[in-house]
Amino acid sequence: MKIVFLGSADFGLPTLKRLIDDGHEIAAIVTIPDKPSGRGLHLHESPVATFAEEKNIWPILKPEKLKDPALIETLRSINADLFVVVAFRILPAEIFGIPKFGTFNIHAALLPRYRGPAPIQRAIEAGEKKSGVTVFRIDSGIDTGEILHQLELDIRENETTSELYERLSAEGASAISLAISQIGNGAAKFVVQDESQTCPAPKLRKDEAKLDWNADAKILFNRIRAFKPFPGTYGLLDGMRLGIESAEVQTDPSGKIPGTIFSISKDCFHIACGSGSLRVLSVKPEGKKPMSAGEFLRGRNLSEGTILQ
């Protein structure tokens, strides 16, 4: 099929590769404008743009505004069979209504659950045991369109957002490959989303990073996994941020005030929570790189009874 790919993040690269491997014609790429980053604020293009250049895919369109009449006219003139969207911006109807078969998005959740920009993080935060990817036809709502195909997978016990991100990225490529095959052979069946099963996946905020030690240890464990790498999680030790990079849940009651460091060994330390405790395995002291708890303890005289805020 003749396809226009719309995306920016590396999450979409396995899908773009799969579309090429499946023999589809990538007639154009739509991605975000180059952005300044780094100390010198040099302009850097999106991973999708870089990949497209390497594969000699043209044109690569980088619109500031998606309702730009010139962009819409260019996309119309391509006469694509369908558009594929992965980790991109909200499209106006003037764009998603162009191709004859429709515009399809890959969402990193089992819709209608976790609609929104942070489905992976919010699923891990909530302690979900399963996740997956959904291929759906875009309509005027946010992640509300009819479902064409879903792939489900288990969330591993200690899995972080970055780890699940990688697995779902690969699953998305498989899902869209099968979905397009169904469209091509006339076997596509669409399912309307059950609105009674929806739950949101709002954008992560920096102010969510501070851990509340009064919470259950399992809740904090899920947040540590979900908010890695952004916005991270931390407590305050002597007024300085101590990032908690990884930890394990201990269910036995500590009998200590939440936030108290009540046990220290050579390679870990335990923090009392509202219920249970966390065995901290790695940390990130303010202004330093992540390190094991053992490395941290060897460089600091931490004593039992110290309280993290």
Looking at residue 254, its pLDDT comes to: 84
Q: How many CB atoms lie within 10 A of CB 52?
A: 22
Burial 254-271 (b: 16+ CB within 10 A, else e): bebebbbbbbbeeebbbb
Does 35 or 115 have the greater pLDDT score?
A: 115
pLDDT at 41 over 90: no
pLDDT at 39 over 80: no
CA geometry: angle 177, 182, 186, nearest 5 deg: 155
pLDDT, one tens digit per residue, over 64-123 is 999 999 999 999 999 999 999 999 999 999 999 999 999 999 999 999 999 999 999 999
Asked if 182 and 174 touch (Cβ cutoff 8 Å), the reply is: no
217, amino acid identity: A
**According to CATH, where is 3.10.25.10 located in the chain?**
206-298
Assign 38 a pLDDT band (cuts: 50, 70, 90). low
Mean pLDDT for 259-272 is: 96
Q: Which CATH number fits domain 206-298: 3.20.20.150, 3.10.25.10, 2.40.50.140, 3.40.1160.10?
A: 3.10.25.10
**According to CATH, where is 3.40.50.170 located in the chain?**
2-200
pLDDT, one tens digit per residue, over 238-253 is 999 999 999 999 998 8
Q: Are strands 147-154 and 234-237 parallel, antiparallel or unpaired?
A: unpaired
Q: Are strands 113-115 and 199-200 parallel, antiparallel or unpaired?
A: parallel
pLDDT at 205 over 90: yes
Model-level pTM? 0.95
Assign 300 a pLDDT band (cuts: 50, 70, 90). confident
pLDDT at 40 over 80: no
Asked if 247 and 277 touch (Cβ cutoff 8 Å), the reply is: no
What Rg value do the Cα atoms of the chain yield, rounded? 23
In CATH, what class is 2-200? alpha beta
